[in-house]
Structures are given as C-alpha cells and as structure tokens.
Amino acid sequence: MNRGMDSGSHPAPKTGFFPLSPEMEFGKDYFALFGLAPRFRIDEAALERAFRALQAEVHPDRYAHRPQTEQRLSMQWATRVNEAYRTLRAPLARARYLLGLRGIDIDHPAAAAVSADFLAEQMEWREALAEARGESDLAALDALRERLDGEARTLTGELARALDEAEDWNAAADAARRLMFIEKLEHDVGEAAAVLES
C-alpha cells in the first residue's frame, strides 16, 4: 500500500529538532508527520497525542535563546504542525488532503458537478432556512440543523468507505463536494440561530 508516497522513511525526531536536517523532514506529508497511516479513519486520540508532543518540541519559546536560524525554523515548524493538525482533525479537510495526495483537487473549478437531485435538495433546504429566518422560527432551524447533522454523518461514512475500502477517488471527491455544501449550510443555519438567540 502507498508505495508512491515517500513517507515514513525518516523516524520522527524526538528532541534536538533543528540541528537535524530539517529540509528532508519538512517534505513529509501530514500523516507521516504525526506517525499516522494515510487513511480517512484515524485514531483521534493518537493524533491529539502526537500533535501535543510535536508542538512542545518545536515551540518557538524553546528556541528564544538559540541562533536566529533555529528561531526561524522553529517558527516555520510550529506553523506547519498547527496546519497539519487542523487539516487532519476535520473530516472534510482530511478528505481533501488525502485526495490531494492522490493528485485530486476537489476544489478545481472544472471538477465534476454534484447531481441535480442533490442540488434540488439543497435548494429546498435553503428555502427552509430562508423561511425559518423570516419567521424567526428557532424550532425549525433546530430541526434543519438536525437533518444536516444526519446528512453530514452519512457523507462522512461514504467518505470512509470510498477512501479506505473502495479506494474510489472519484466517489470520494463527489462525497467531499457534497459535504462542502452541507457544512456551508450548517454554518448559515448556525448563524441564523445565533441571530435569533441573541
């Protein structure tokens, strides 16, 4: 599996990071950085632990009295470690990143469109949101949020199957794009609810 990616060939450094050859390590993908297999289903606790450990190791405070080169490197590493953690922690960002490793850009403008049925459903939900907002109907917003949560869970399951089992990148990219719509809608529903609650 995964022979195409040159990752995991360098052991994760434990201490004394910056005198080591940083250029080489910097090329690692985010999964390898945290010692995880490049899969959609991840051990969240392991990610959390690896992140904390690495974060402590590269923290700029540790290098405040070191030469400028090391200070700069520690800064770059801290940024990279944070970005890697944010990416792997969120399912959609993780899926986008995994597909990116396979050479698929889900945000490409020429990417295949999601189905018309899905878009028609989106439109219905957008209408429901507009209606609930217009009538200041918090209960309707909550109901909508619940449906969207369910939809997001279903899509996350689809992503896991497509990425980890079927290895069907096109199906995964399609599910990821649908999840983008759902998350945007969830965000807008949350915003509308916050306005009503305030």
Residues near other proteins (CB under 8 A) are 106-107, 109, 113-114, 116, 119-120, 122-123, 126-127, 130, 177-178, 180-181, 184-185, 188
Measure CA 122 to chain center.
22
State the amino acid at position 104 in one-letter form.
I
**81 vs 176, which CB is nearer to other proteins?**
176
Nearer to other proteins, 43 or 105 (CB): 105
| Closest of 181, 174, 191, 197 to residue 125, by C-alpha | 181
For other proteins, the closer of residues 78 and 148 by Cβ is 148
Nearest to 4, CA basis, from 107, 103, 83: 103
Shortest spacing between CB 95 and other proteins, in angstroms: 12
CB of residue 125 to other proteins, shortest distance in Å = 9
Helix axes of 169-197 and 138-160: crossing angle, nearest 10 degrees: 160
> Can you say whether residue 66 is alpha, beta or left, with left for phi > 0 and alpha for psi between -120 and 50 degrees?
beta
- Shortest distance, CB of residue 188 to other proteins, whole angstroms? 7
Q: Which is nearer to other proteins, 127 or 165 (CB)?
A: 127
| Least distance to other proteins, CB of residue 147, Å | 16
DSSP 109: T
Q: Give the nearer residue to other proteins in terms of CB position, either 52 or 184.
A: 184
Cα 48 to Cα 181: distance, rounded to the nearest angstrom: 28
CB of 80 to other proteins, least distance (A): 24
